[in-house]
Amino acid sequence: MPTLPKIAVFDLDGTLAETAGDLVGTLNVLLVREGLPELALEEARDLIGAGAKALIRRGFEAAGRELTPERHEALFGDFLEHYGAHLCERSHLYPGVVEALDRLEAEGFRLAVCTNKVEGLAVDLLDQLGIGGRFAAICGRATFPYSKPDPRHITLTIGRAGGDPERAVMVGDSRADIDAAKAAGIPVVAVTFGYTDTPVDQLGPDRVISHFSDLPGAVAELLSAQA
């Protein structure tokens, strides 16, 4: 049987790309419509990381209002409509992403994305950022019946991408990424520049990096330790 390729699985928001400007911008549109004050970008940045529904709930709580399930669902639809039309106005890749992906591919890695963003929006955003075609699978919140921190979100993404789960590494920025990878038995690299209310080095990742230039070395160390 042919050997499956090594695989690196990436979170999207706060890991591959700085997307806070567009996400918080959309959140603020909803807050203003509801008669609430906007949140400053730096104040709202760490509310990101668990998907749009969680961002809406956290954002409205931060503005002093709790949402009923029905209102939450309606606002989620409004969020997706507005965000989809303003997906990549301020979003951009983090420095070194393209070079790190080049290096990993040259070393035989397959690449995938596992995000709590809606799949269609994730695909559109990655295409607009110019790297959508690099990934064997882009799996979002509703791609499977499970989403991070459920480990099956990662393991099913690896399966869809055709990667080797025994030679897989997760790269993320939040508790959801780290907890999901650890529960799946997959080593995880955490980036320091993403969206988290707790410093990632306190969440138990296997490696922490502050620039994508350090990623290929960290991944190589983790997989050699597994061998």
Phi and psi (nearest 5°) for 186? -115, 130
- Which is higher by pLDDT, 46 or 156? 156
- Considering the candidates 11, 13, 22, 179, report the single residue annotated as catalytic: 11
pLDDT in tens, 163-219: 999 999 999 999 999 999 999 999 999 999 999 889 999 999 999 999 999 999 999
Q: Taking Cα atoms as reference points, which of 92, 91, 81, 66 lies closest to residue 26?
A: 81
Burial 94-130 (b: 16+ CB within 10 A, else e): beebeebbebbeeeebbbbbbbbbbbebbbbbbeebe
Spacing of C-alpha 190 from chain mean position = 11
Per the annotation, the verdict on 11 as an active-site residue is: yes
Spacing of C-alpha 66 from chain mean position = 26
For the chain, the maximum distance between any two Cα atoms, rounded to a whole number of angstroms, is 61
pLDDT band at 227 (very low <50, low <70, confident <90, very high): low
Q: Taking Cα atoms as reference points, which of 99, 93, 72 lies closest to residue 18?
A: 93
pLDDT band at 67 (very low <50, low <70, confident <90, very high): confident
The pLDDT, as a whole number, for residue 51 is: 75
- Which is higher by pLDDT, 142 or 137? 137
Q: Is the pLDDT assigned to residue 39 strictly greater than 80?
A: yes
- What distance in Å separates the CA atoms of residue 62 and residue 47, rounded to the nearest whole number? 9
pLDDT band at 62 (very low <50, low <70, confident <90, very high): confident
Q: What is the mean pLDDT of residues 35-56?
A: 86
Q: Is the pLDDT assigned to residue 128 strictly greater than 90?
A: yes
* Full set of structural domains in the chain with CATH: 6-18+91-226 (3.40.50.1000), 20-85 (1.10.150.240)
The pLDDT, as a whole number, for residue 42 is: 86
| Predicted TM-score (pTM) of this structure | 0.92
- What distance in Å separates the CA atoms of residue 89 and residue 101, rounded to the nearest whole number? 23
Prior bond of 149 cis (ω within 30°): yes
111-115, 116-120, 157-161: lowest mean pLDDT where?
Answer: 116-120
